[in-house]
């Protein structure tokens, strides 16, 4: 059964094939023929881009996307095994996923990090339940630790902006937020840059490291491609000749268990907000959106001509068409 669920396990060749399809769809404005196909998406947290771009992709290709939000208009789903279900979740994913598989041709699932324990988040219980119980292909619409569809769209966007990315410079720049956010996009953005063979700088305060397993994976791909991986902790400094400044907020995993301290630390780091002055002449600004203006990125930087966040969001549509084309093809 085909699954597009784990960015870390995808080969470079497979990713390149999906991106090639995505570029071809975008260039030709032609869509795959998904007539009669139904994609059922389940969201465990809100979404604009992922939900609408998948629904639009299916509609434009002659298929249908049906979306459910767990606990809002459908049952709240339990993912823990062996629990007594006497709380607020009336249906277990063990039944729900198998039932949904009888109605649709593929399933998408958007889960979210609990941000309570990095070890628990790493288990990806919701995504794993879909992988285990689905009898149709599964696509991750973002999970606790990864956002593989965002990764594809980001790779497409970087290619459009810099031409040949190999050897060019990518900076993942941490930015403050009003609350801790998950590691999914930072992990996927770094994997994207590593697969593209870009020299990576991870610019984030002390303590705001990504998961060690992902960092090692990113470092090993970069090493294989002859690229570099550098970690810096100063808010002002961007490496010379940065081509892509990818801005993202995430929480410090070591503070997950102390939310009040996490909030306090985030407030202290407000000077990390990305400003127009930090954009070099030839560096492009990317962010997966949604973004809080003047908390994460200043108005001046977001509205700058080198800000490419809208093009990046558009590419979600084309990248996902590449995934859907593969998911529903006979190959």
Positions that interact with ligand CP (CB under 6 A): 47-50, 142, 150, 288-290
C-alpha dihedral (212, 217, 220, 226), degrees to nearest 10: -110
Q: Which is nearer to ligand CP, 92 or 308 (CB)?
A: 308
Coil, strand, or helix at residue 217?
helix
Q: Is 244 exposed, middle or buried (0-12, 13-18, 19+ CB in 10 A)?
A: buried
Angle at 164 between CA 225 and CA 201, to 5 degrees: 55
Smallest distance from the beta carbon of 166 to ligand CP, in angstroms?
A: 25
Smallest distance from the beta carbon of 8 to ligand CP, in angstroms?
A: 18
Cβ partners under 8 Å of residue 34, min gap 6: 58, 61, 62, 63, 324, 328
Terminal Cα distance for the chain, rounded? 11
Q: Choose among 68, 92, 69, 70: nearest CA to 80.
A: 92
Smallest distance from the beta carbon of 19 to ligand CP, in angstroms?
A: 17
Q: Which is nearer to ligand CP, 50 or 249 (CB)?
A: 50
Smallest distance from the beta carbon of 197 to ligand CP, in angstroms?
A: 24
Smallest distance from the beta carbon of 190 to ligand CP, in angstroms?
A: 16
Query: What token pair was written down for 255?
Result: 């503070």
Q: Which is nearer to ligand CP, 148 or 235 (CB)?
A: 148
Residue 5 CA to residue 189 CA, distance in Å, equals 16
Cβ partners under 8 Å of residue 298, min gap 6: 273, 274, 275, 276
Smallest distance from the beta carbon of 193 to ligand CP, in angstroms?
A: 17
Smallest distance from the beta carbon of 254 to ligand CP, in angstroms?
A: 25
Q: Which is nearer to ligand CP, 19 or 255 (CB)?
A: 19
Residue 303 CA to residue 307 CA, distance in Å, equals 6
Smallest distance from the beta carbon of 41 to ligand CP, in angstroms?
A: 11
Q: Which is nearer to ligand CP, 203 or 288 (CB)?
A: 288
Q: Which is nearer to ligand CP, 163 or 290 (CB)?
A: 290
Q: Which is nearer to ligand CP, 91 or 112 (CB)?
A: 112
The dihedral sign for the CA sequence 256, 259, 264, 269? positive
DSSP assignment of 231-271 equals EE--SS---TT-SEEEEE----GGGTT-HHHHHHHHHHTGG
Q: Choose among 118, 111, 126: nearest CA to 69.
A: 111
Q: Which is nearer to ligand CP, 232 or 295 (CB)?
A: 295
């Amino acid at each position: 059964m085909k699954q597009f669920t784990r960015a870390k396990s995808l080969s470079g060749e497979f990713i390149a094939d999906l991106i090639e399809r995505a570029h071809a769809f975008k260039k030709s404005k032609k869509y795959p023929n998904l007539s009669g196909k139904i994609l059922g998406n389940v969201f465990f947290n809100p979404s604009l881009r992922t939900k609408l771009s998948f629904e639009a992709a299916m509609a434009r290709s002659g298929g249908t996307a049906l979306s459910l939000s767990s606990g809002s208009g459908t049952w709240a789903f339990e993912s823990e095994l062996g629990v007594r279900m006497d709380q607020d979740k009336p249906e277990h994913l063990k039944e729900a996923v198998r039932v949904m598989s009888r109605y649709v041709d593929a399933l998408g699932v958007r889960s979210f990090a609990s941000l309570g324990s990095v070890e628990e988040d790493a288990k990806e219980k919701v995504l794993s339940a879909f992988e285990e119980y689905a009898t149709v292909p599964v696509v991750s619409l973002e999970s606790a630790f990864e956002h593989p569809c965002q990764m594809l769209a980001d790779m497409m966007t970087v290619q459009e902006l810099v031409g040949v990315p190999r050897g060019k410079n990518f900076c993942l720049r941490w930015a403050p937020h009003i609350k801790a956010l998950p590691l999914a996009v930072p992990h996927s953005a770094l994997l994207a840059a590593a697969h593209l063979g870009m020299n990576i700088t991870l610019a984030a305060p002390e303590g705001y490291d990504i998961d060690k397993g992902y960092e090692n994976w990113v470092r090993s791909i970069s090493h294989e491609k002859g690229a570099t991986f550098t970690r810096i902790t100063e808010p002002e400094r961007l490496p010379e000749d940065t081509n892509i400044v990818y801005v993202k907020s995430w929480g410090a995993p070591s503070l997950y268990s102390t939310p009040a301290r996490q909030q306090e630390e985030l407030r202290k780091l407000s000077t990390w907000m990305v400003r127009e002055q930090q954009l070099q002449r030839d560096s492009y600004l990317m962010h997966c959106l949604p973004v809080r203006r003047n908390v994460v990125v200043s108005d001046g930087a977001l509205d700058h001509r080198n800000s490419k966040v809208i093009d990046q969001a558009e590419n979600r549509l084309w990248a996902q068409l590449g995934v859907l084309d593969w998911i529903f093809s006979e190959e």
